[in-house]
Amino acid sequence: MTSAQQWTDEERAERISEALVALGLDAGAEETGGGIVCIVIPHTDGGVISWGTADVTWGAAISNQDGEQISYISTVWPSDSEDVDGTAKALLEASLKNGAVRNL
């Protein structure tokens, strides 16, 4: 197993997604093109919340079922954090406040 500092973006996104699943969200890592990997969570309107690290903090685009971006979420959680559980909890809280579908 590699250390957190050696994870690829995809490995890191997969680990955070797994932590989100353990916290009750249907989350998965998805390559969106150009080597960009996002964490994707279903949204209540049939669209998705796509989390990424393009800035110094985690942020997400919320898209509707037609794939059109309808909103954006930003957090104060650092995008370079190696704390998988802390990152998952930060994304969970912001996702639920913004319409994420929770697994029962």
Query: From CA 67, how far away is CA 30, in angstroms rounded?
Result: 15
* Model confidence pLDDT, tens digit, residues 11-55: 999 999 999 999 999 999 998 877 789 999 999 999 999 999 878
Is 26 inside any structural domain? Answer: yes
Query: From CA 37, how far away is CA 22, in angstroms rounded?
Result: 20
* Model confidence pLDDT, tens digit, residues 53-95: 878 999 999 999 999 999 999 999 999 899 999 999 999 999 9
What are residue 27's phi and psi, to 5 degrees? -125, 150
Nearest to 13 by CA among 67, 50, 62: 50
Is 25 inside any structural domain? Answer: yes
Is 103 inside any structural domain? Answer: no
**Cα(first)–Cα(last) distance of the chain, in Å?**
31
Number of domains in the chain: 1
The pTM assigned to this predicted structure is 0.90
Please give the residue range of the domain that contains residue 42. Answer: 4-97
